[in-house]
Copies of this chain bind each other. A is one copy, B any other.
Amino acid sequence: MRDVAIIGVGQVAVGEHWTTSIRHLALGALQAAMGEAGVRRADMLYVGNMLSGELTGQEHLGALVADFAGMRGTEAFKIEAACGSGAGALRMGYIAVAGGMADIVVVVGVEKMTDMSGADVTAALAMAADGDYEASQGLSFVAVNALLMRRYMFEHGYDRQDFSFFAVNAHRNASHNPNGMFQFPVTAGQFARAKLVCDPISLLDSSPVCDGAAAVVLAPADVARSLSPAPVRIGASAVGTDAVAVHDRRDPLVLDGAVLSVRRAYQQFGGGPEDIDLFELHDAFSIMAALSLEAAGFAERGGGVRLALEEDIGLSGRIPIATMGGLKARGHPVGASGVYQVVDVVQQLRGLAGANQVPNARIGMAQSVGGSGATVITHILERMVE
Which interface residue of A59, A127, A370 has the most chain B CB atoms within 10 A? A59
Contact check, B62 vs A99: say whether CB atoms are below 8 A apart. no
Q: Which residues of B contact A78 (CB under 8 A)?
A: 79-81
Question: A1 at the A/B interface (Cβ < 8 Å)?
Answer: yes
Known: A57-B131, A131-B57. A374 touches B64 (CB 8 A): yes
User: Which residue from B92, B99, B375 sits with its C-beta under 8 Å from A60?
Assistant: B375
- Tell me, in angstroms, the Cα distance from A150 to B53 when the chains sit together: 29
- Tell me, in angstroms, the Cα distance from A371 to B274 when the chains sit together: 48
Contact check, B1 vs A60: say whether CB atoms are below 8 A apart. no
Chain A residues 236-294 with CB under 8 Å of chain B are 239-244, 248, 256-257, 260
Chain A residues 13-60 with CB under 8 Å of chain B are 21, 23, 50-51, 53-54, 56-60
Contact check, B57 vs A100: say whether CB atoms are below 8 A apart. no
Known: A58-B127, A99-B98, A100-B99. A241 touches B1 (CB 8 A): no
Contact check, B80 vs A60: say whether CB atoms are below 8 A apart. yes
> How many Å from the CB of A320 to the closest CB on chain B?
28
Contact check, A241 vs B81: say whether CB atoms are below 8 A apart. no
Taking the full assembly, how many copies of this chain does it contain? Answer: 2
- Tell me, in angstroms, the Cα distance from A59 to B95 when the chains sit together: 23
User: Which residue from B63, B124, B128, B371 sits with its C-beta under 8 Å from A257?
Assistant: B63
Contact check, B75 vs A77: say whether CB atoms are below 8 A apart. no
Which interface residue of A98, A240, A375 has the most chain B CB atoms within 10 A? A375
Question: A96 at the A/B interface (Cβ < 8 Å)?
Answer: yes
Q: Which residues of B contact A63 (CB under 8 A)?
A: 81, 241-244, 257, 370-371, 374-375
User: Which residue from B60, B126, B135 sits with its C-beta under 8 Å from A128?
Assistant: B60
- Tell me, in angstroms, the Cα distance from A325 to B127 when the chains sit together: 34
Contact check, A79 vs B82: say whether CB atoms are below 8 A apart. no
Question: A72 at the A/B interface (Cβ < 8 Å)?
Answer: yes
Question: A132 at the A/B interface (Cβ < 8 Å)?
Answer: yes
> How many Å from the CB of A116 to the closest CB on chain B?
13
Q: Which residues of B contact A64 (CB under 8 A)?
A: 130, 244, 374
Contact check, B82 vs A59: say whether CB atoms are below 8 A apart. yes
Question: A157 at the A/B interface (Cβ < 8 Å)?
Answer: no
Question: A343 at the A/B interface (Cβ < 8 Å)?
Answer: no
Question: A88 at the A/B interface (Cβ < 8 Å)?
Answer: yes
Question: A101 at the A/B interface (Cβ < 8 Å)?
Answer: yes
Contact check, B76 vs A375: say whether CB atoms are below 8 A apart. yes
Known: A62-B375, A127-B57. A242 touches B100 (CB 8 A): no
Contact check, A60 vs B370: say whether CB atoms are below 8 A apart. yes
Q: Which residues of B contact A88 (CB under 8 A)?
A: 77
> How many Å from the CB of A346 to the closest CB on chain B?
23
Question: A183 at the A/B interface (Cβ < 8 Å)?
Answer: no
Closest to A264 in B: B75
User: Which residue from B81, B95, B243 sits with its C-beta under 8 Å from A96?
Assistant: B95
Q: Which residues of B contact A120 (CB under 8 A)?
A: none
Which interface residue of A72, A77, A132 has the most chain B CB atoms within 10 A? A77
What are 9 A-B contacts defined by CB distance under 8 Å? A57-B136, A60-B375, A61-B80, A63-B81, A63-B374, A73-B256, A96-B99, A98-B101, A99-B101
Given A1-B101, A66-B241, 11 other A-B contacts at CB below 8 A? A1-B99, A53-B127, A57-B131, A58-B130, A60-B375, A63-B81, A63-B242, A73-B257, A75-B239, A77-B375, A78-B80
The 4 closest A-B pairs by CB, nearest first: A99-B99, A58-B131, A63-B374, A75-B239
